[in-house]
């Protein structure tokens, strides 16, 4: 692209929200050619070169980001425990539903993650990893979700093989199923606290009401009380309010069940998809430990062990998805001027765009310093009029008419490392993006782009 003004790196960083810890973009910078750079310590990767080499659409997965985020959570928790003389333990359980890919789970385990599964098939992954010797038997696995016959069978099998597996009771029927279970049990309580998040359902199908649990009296081997308020909880106060109600339930249930010693507060730590500053791990963990200590001392009960299952927070920022703009079209009547068609699909690759109207942080991969930009709407390659993304009304992206002859414009969507891969679909028989992994300065291919033959297998061809 011909540049009419001298590049001012700092200014463009600000415009695009790069190199900013508040937005989880501290790893992302601009080089002197206006191209997006990823930094891993002193290693660096040029996203444009990666897209040219491996083709697009392509997911770029960065396990070092996962490792740093999880080790930071553990560090902050341990500091609080030490400073406050908190007597309970802190454990992080990774919910597999958030990112079921091997390249995500292995670095999580290496940083000390325990696991949370929600189905028999997810437990099959755990079994496979365990049989491969990927982790030791001290790993604890929390089993949520409805316990089908296959699920129960696998739980019992793994327990008998010595794995620390904790079925979470979600219904009266499950309580009967696990009556003779020899290991620790958990129970899920459905709290009344409602939080500001996409998942603030008035009624949901999970867990038991507190009154129902209290009526059960003593539950043998009950170790963990679990709740989950929702994903992307926007306010720290909502988290603390849920904690308050969760602790009240914990305290009451403990009177019947003295073996209860762990409070699992589920997932929900939000990430700044919308480039707005949110609460930090430091502040929320401080309030969790401070309050649990204060409340339990008031009740003269031991400080509970604390479990968190913050999935999106840890894995979301560890992936970006890169697309090439394959075509542009005028928009005759709209607040945006142009359609930019990407070589992928929002419906297929980034389902939350459509399902929960997710706002994404989108940045050009090249020409980040373009002085002139168009107001655009992005569209995917499927034939669906819902396959589009318009941000907060429109996006401002470099003008294609300013590109050099033969130059392509690429864009990237940040924070795609949570949920989107599990939701991937093949509307219009389109292929899913390829996936590459960056670690220790080395780029490897985790998944090739699907050929029509590969996609055909899903549909009996």
Say which residues have a Cβ less than 8 Å from residue 143's Cβ, sequence separation at least 6.
116, 117, 118, 123, 151, 155, 165, 166, 167, 168
Asked if 95 interacts with ligand PLP (CB under 6 A), we say: yes
State the minimum distance, in angstroms, from the CB of residue 278 to ligand PLP. 13
How far is the C-alpha of 41 from the C-alpha of 48, rounded, in Å? Answer: 19
Residue list 260-279, contact with ligand PLP (CB under 6 A): 266-269
- The secondary structure of residue 171, as a DSSP letter, is S
Site string for ligand PLP, 383-422 (x = CB under 6 A): -----------------------------------x----
Q: Which of 103, 174, 261, 309 binds ligand PLP (CB under 6 A)?
A: 309
Q: Select 190 or 321, whichever has its Cβ closest to ligand PLP.
A: 190
Asked if 228 interacts with ligand PLP (CB under 6 A), we say: yes
Say which residues have a Cβ less than 8 Å from residue 255's Cβ, sequence separation at least 6.
none
The distance from CA 51 to its chain's CA centroid, rounded to whole angstroms, is 24
Asked if 122 interacts with ligand PLP (CB under 6 A), we say: no
Which region among 76-84, 311-319, 421-429, 447-455 touches ligand PLP (by CB under 6 A)? Answer: 311-319
Bond from prior residue into 57 cis (ω within 30 degrees of 0):
yes
Asked if 167 interacts with ligand PLP (CB under 6 A), we say: no
State the minimum distance, in angstroms, from the CB of residue 133 to ligand PLP. 27
Q: Which of 56, 80, 99, 144 binds ligand PLP (CB under 6 A)?
A: 144
Q: Select 64 or 313, whichever has its Cβ closest to ligand PLP.
A: 313
Q: Which of 138, 285, 145 is nearest to 207 (CA)?
A: 145
Q: Look up residue 370 and give its two tokens.
A: 């373009």
Site string for ligand PLP, 191-210 (x = CB under 6 A): --------------------
State the minimum distance, in angstroms, from the CB of residue 353 to ligand PLP. 17
How far is the C-alpha of 249 from the C-alpha of 175, rounded, in Å? Answer: 18
Q: Which of 19, 51, 81, 98 binds ligand PLP (CB under 6 A)?
A: 98
Residue list 351-380, contact with ligand PLP (CB under 6 A): none
State the minimum distance, in angstroms, from the CB of residue 231 to ligand PLP. 3
Q: Select 35 or 116, whichever has its Cβ closest to ligand PLP.
A: 116
State the minimum distance, in angstroms, from the CB of residue 316 to ligand PLP. 8
State the minimum distance, in angstroms, from the CB of residue 366 to ligand PLP. 32
What sign does the dihedral 187-192-194-195 (CA atoms) show? negative
CA-to-CA separations, 280 to 22, 236, 247, in angstroms, rounded: 9, 9, 22
How far is the C-alpha of 134 from the C-alpha of 112, rounded, in Å? Answer: 12
How far is the C-alpha of 227 from the C-alpha of 163, rounded, in Å? Answer: 23
Which region among 74-82, 304-312, 404-412, 445-453 touches ligand PLP (by CB under 6 A)? Answer: 304-312
Token match 């059960």: residue?
216
H or E element at residue 228: none
State the minimum distance, in angstroms, from the CB of residue 118 to ligand PLP. 7
Q: Select 118 or 341, whichever has its Cβ closest to ligand PLP.
A: 118
Q: Give burial (CB, 10 Å; 0-12/13-18/19+) of 451.
A: exposed
How far is the C-alpha of 410 from the C-alpha of 363, rounded, in Å? Answer: 9
Chain residue at closest Cβ approach to ligand PLP: 267
Which region among 79-87, 308-316, 335-343, 431-439 touches ligand PLP (by CB under 6 A)? Answer: 308-316
State the minimum distance, in angstroms, from the CB of residue 261 to ligand PLP. 20
Say which residues have a Cβ less than 8 Å from residue 244's Cβ, sequence separation at least 6.
193, 291, 295
Asked if 170 interacts with ligand PLP (CB under 6 A), we say: no
Contact 381, 428 (CB under 8 A): yes
| Residue ranges binding ligand PLP (CB under 6 A) | 95, 98, 116, 144, 228, 231, 266-269, 309-313, 418
């Amino acid at each position: 692209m011909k540049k009419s003004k001298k590049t001012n790196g700092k200014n463009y960083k600000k415009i695009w929200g790069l190199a900013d810890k508040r937005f989880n973009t501290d790893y992302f910078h601009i080089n002197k050619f206006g191209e997006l750079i990823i930094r891993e310590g002193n290693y660096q990767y040029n996203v444009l070169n990666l897209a040219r080499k491996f083709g697009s659409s392509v997911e770029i997965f960065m396990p070092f980001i996962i490792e740093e985020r999880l080790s930071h959570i553990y560090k902050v928790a341990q500091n609080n425990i030490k400073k406050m003389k908190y007597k309970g333990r802190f454990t992080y359980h990774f919910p597999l539903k958030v990112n079921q890919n091997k390249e995500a789970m292995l670095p999580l385990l290496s940083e000390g993650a325990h696991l949370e599964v929600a189905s028999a098939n997810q437990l099959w992954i755990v079994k496979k990893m365990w049989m491969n010797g990927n982790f030791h038997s001290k790993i604890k696995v929390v089993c949520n979700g409805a316990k089908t016959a296959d699920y129960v069978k696998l739980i019992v099998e793994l327990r008998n093989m010595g794995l620390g597996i904790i079925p979470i009771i979600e219904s009266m029927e499950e309580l009967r199923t696990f009556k003779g279970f020899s290991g620790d049990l958990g129970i899920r309580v459905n709290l009344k606290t409602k939080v500001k998040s996409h998942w603030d359902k008035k009624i949901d199908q999970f867990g038991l009401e507190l009154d129902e649990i209290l009526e059960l009296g003593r539950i043998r081997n009950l170790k963990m009380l679990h709740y989950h308020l929702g994903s992307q909880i926007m306010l720290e106060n909502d988290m603390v309010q849920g904690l308050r109600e969760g602790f009240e339930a914990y305290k009451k249930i403990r009177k019947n069940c003295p073996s209860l010693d762990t409070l699992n507060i589920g997932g929900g730590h939000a990430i700044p998809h919308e480039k707005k500053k949110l609460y930090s791990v430091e502040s929320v963990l401080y309030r969790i430990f401070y309050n649990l200590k204060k409340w339990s001392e008031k009740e003269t009960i031991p400080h509970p062990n604390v479990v968190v299952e913050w999935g999106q927070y840890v894995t979301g920022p560890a992936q970006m998805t890169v697309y090439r703009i394959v075509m542009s079209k005028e928009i005759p009547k709209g607040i945006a001027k142009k359609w930019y068609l990407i070589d992928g699909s929002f419906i297929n690759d980034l389902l939350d765009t459509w399902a929960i109207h997710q706002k994404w942080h989108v940045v050009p991969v090249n020409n980040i310093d373009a002085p002139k930009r168009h107001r655009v709407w992005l569209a995917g390659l499927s034939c669906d009029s819902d396959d589009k993304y318009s941000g907060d009304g429109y996006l401002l992206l470099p003008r294609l008419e300013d590109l050099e002859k033969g130059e392509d414009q690429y864009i990237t969507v940040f924070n795609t490392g949570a949920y989107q891969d599990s939701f991937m679909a093949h509307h219009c028989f389109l292929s899913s993006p390829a996936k590459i992994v960056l670690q220790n300065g080395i780029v490897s291919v985790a998944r090739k782009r699907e050929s029509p033959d590969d996609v055909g297998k899903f549909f009996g061809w």
